[in-house]
Amino acid sequence: MVCYVKKFQEFTTSEWYEIARLRSDVFIVEQTSAYHEFDNLDQLSQHVYLKEDGEIVSYCRIIPEGLVYPETTIGRVIVKATHRKKGLGRVLLKSAVEEASVHNTKPIQIQAEQYLTDFYASFGFMVVSEPYLDCEIWHVDMVRR
């Protein structure tokens, strides 16, 4: 398994298509959420992903501070359904937090699905909001200082 970090402009068309498909499969189809997945933040973000046997199996993006929250944001965290429960989410998030820290010393804020708060807490994130519905899924805001 290999971890990659790229800016939007560094992707090949095939790589971006594979990521777009994965994001659509999870956030729109699997979670049955009809919303605009592509929000013009991709072009400004760092993208972290894991490849195994030539296939993208896990992905997230790092959005610079000030675009969504005052803090840097990690979002769109995905592990492909066929590769879950193998620790890839942990590998991915560790890489993303390290990458965000290289470019930024400020806190990192995330919108976490509520059932994943313990997972994110294991990386030092703390809940800073009451639970709220976003696209019919319970979330909380979390910050890592």
pLDDT tens digits for 4-61?
999 999 999 999 999 999 999 888 777 777 766 788 999 999 999 999 999 999 999 9
pLDDT on residue 102: 87
User: Judging by DSSP bridges, how do beta strands 55-63 and 2-7 pair with one another?
Assistant: unpaired
Q: What share of the chain is helix, strand, coil (3-state, %, to 5)?
A: 35, 35, 30
Please, are residues 111 and 134 in contact by the beta-carbon 8 Å criterion? Answer: yes
Asked if residue 81 has pLDDT above 80, the reply is yes
Domain chopping of the chain, boundaries: 2-102
Residue 88 corresponds to which tokens in the numbers above? 């890839």
Q: pLDDT higher for 31 or 116? A: 116
- Please state, in angstroms and rounded to a whole number, the distance separating the CA atoms of residues 10 and 57: 19
Query: Which architecture does CATH list for 2-102?
Result: 3-Layer(aba) Sandwich (3.40)
What residues form DSSP beta bridges with 79?
Answer: 58
